[in-house]
Structure 1
Amino acid sequence: MIELENVGYSYGDGALLSDVSITLSPGSFHFLTGPSGAGKTTLMKLCYGALLPSSGMVRAFGADMRALSRDQMALLRRRIGVVHQDCRFLDHLPVADNVALPLTVSGRDMSAESGNLSELMKWVGLAARADALPPELSGGERQRAALARAVIMSPDLVLADEPTGNVDWEMSQRLLQLLVELNRMGKTVLIASHDLGLIRAAKSQVQARVLRISNRQVQLAGADL
């Protein structure tokens, strides 16, 4: 599904990632961990084409990302849902409209999609907050809205960058459960996180592999996690 082959990425005068080779297979569940500044967000951006590697190759669904036109890249990204760390929304639009933005941008018939949108809002526990504006949401509600927006197009791959970084343990467990449910539905999931408790909780529910960035390379973490 996503393959990084001998990938390197340089930022400014220094190398942030070097000789990284990983494969995200269909239906797999991965955590990406490592200290702050190690390159977790950069690696995730490489996975969905927001960045292109300085060396090596990134393939998404069999296609070399370097060879894609702008239109082809836009179509490919519809198959990848991204939960960004900063959860940006359009503050003048209700939550439901923010969640539905990918549908609007892609030209979908919104009247035909209204039922799916309602079901998704229920699934993330935000049906009662559909008409609220983003500034009125709690941190956990914002994260759930961000997850709903990421999966509204029914992507094959979900990338979540520190989705529980700004919420309490109870809410982090709820968010994890939603991501586990997506994986059980056949979605590939990659979560960037430094929360070892969250990783252990996930490994009790799914076969999660843990990838650790260390010294600019990505290694499979040991069984102690």
Structure 2
Amino acid sequence: MIELENVAYSYGGGELLSSITLALQPGSFHFLTGPSGAGKTTFLKLCYGALVPTSGHARLFGADVRGMSRDDIALARRRVGVVHQDVQFLDHLPVADNVALPLTVSGRSSIDEGANLKELLTWVGLTERADALPPELSGGERQRAALARAVIMSPDVILADEPTGNVDWEMSQRLLTLLIELNRMGKTIMIATHDLGLIRAAKSHVQARVLRISNRQLHLAGADL
């Protein structure tokens, strides 16, 4: 699905990531850890084609990113849902319209899709906030709306960058439960987080592989997490 082969990425004359090889298999669940500034966000951007490796090969669903056109990458990214660390919404549109934006952009607005949108908002617990504007939402509501928007196109892969970074423990557990449910539906999940408590909480519910970025390289984290 997503493959990185001996990937390196440099920025401003310095190498941020080096010699990274990883294949995300269908239905797998990964956590990505590492200190602030280690390159977790850069790594995720390499995984969904927002960045092109300085060297090595990044493949999205079998196609090398370096040889893909912008249209090719845009089509491939419909199969990847991304929950960004800094959640951005169009503040003049209600929550329901923000969540449905990927459908609108892709020309898939229809009665059937409208039913799917209502079901999705119910699933993330935002039915009563469907008409609210983004500035009116709490931090947890914004994160749930971001997750709903990321999965509205029914992607094969969900990449979440610190999705619980700005919410309390109870809400982080709710978001984690939603991501675990998606994995049980067959979706491939990768969560970038510095919260080891979140990883420990997940391990009793899902078979997760824990990866750590350290010294510009990717390592399999120890079993003591």
Q: Identify the residue that residue 165 of structure 1 maps to in structure 2.
A: 165
Q: Distance in 1 between matches of 2:192 and 2:113?
A: 30
Query: Structure 1, residues 26-67: CA drift from partner, whole Å, max 9, x if none?
Result: 000000000000000000000000000000000111111111
Stretches (4+) displaced over 2 A: 109-112
Q: Which residues of structure 1 form unaligned runs of 5+?
A: none
Q: How does 1:70-89 map to 2 (within 5 A)?
A: 70-89=70-89
The one-letter code sitting in structure 1 at the alignment partner of 2:197 is: G
3-state DSSP of counterpart to 1:38: coil
Q: Identify the residue that residue 120 of structure 2 maps to in structure 1.
A: 120
Q: Distance in 1 between matches of 2:140 and 2:40?
A: 22
1:207 aligned onto 2:192:
no
Q: Distance in 2 between matches of 1:129 and 1:109?
A: 20
3-state DSSP of counterpart to 1:144: helix
Q: Distance in 1 between matches of 2:53 and 2:174?
A: 34
Q: Distance in 2 between matches of 1:7 and 1:193?
A: 21
**Count of paired positions:** 225
Q: Identify the residue that residue 154 of structure 1 maps to in structure 2.
A: 154
TM-score using structure 2 length: 0.99
Query: Structure 1, residues 42-98: CA drift from partner, whole Å, max 9, x if none?
Result: 000000000000000001111111111111111100000000001100000000000
The CA RMSD measured in Å over matched residues stands at 0.6
3-state DSSP of counterpart to 1:125: coil
Q: Distance in 1 between matches of 2:219 and 2:71?
A: 34
Task: Confirm or deny: 8 A CA contact 1:103 1:110 kept in the other structure.
Answer: no
Q: Identify the residue that residue 219 of structure 1 maps to in structure 2.
A: 219
The one-letter code sitting in structure 2 at the alignment partner of 1:179 is: L
Q: Which residues of structure 2 form unaligned runs of 5+?
A: none
TM-score using structure 1 length: 0.99
Q: Distance in 1 between matches of 2:37 and 2:88?
A: 21
Q: Distance in 1 between matches of 2:158 and 2:136?
A: 26
Q: Identify the residue that residue 26 of structure 2 maps to in structure 1.
A: 26
Q: How does 1:1-225 map to 2 (within 5 A)?
A: 1-225=1-225
Q: Report the more deviating stretch, 5-14 or 110-119.
A: 110-119
The one-letter code sitting in structure 1 at the alignment partner of 2:71 is: D
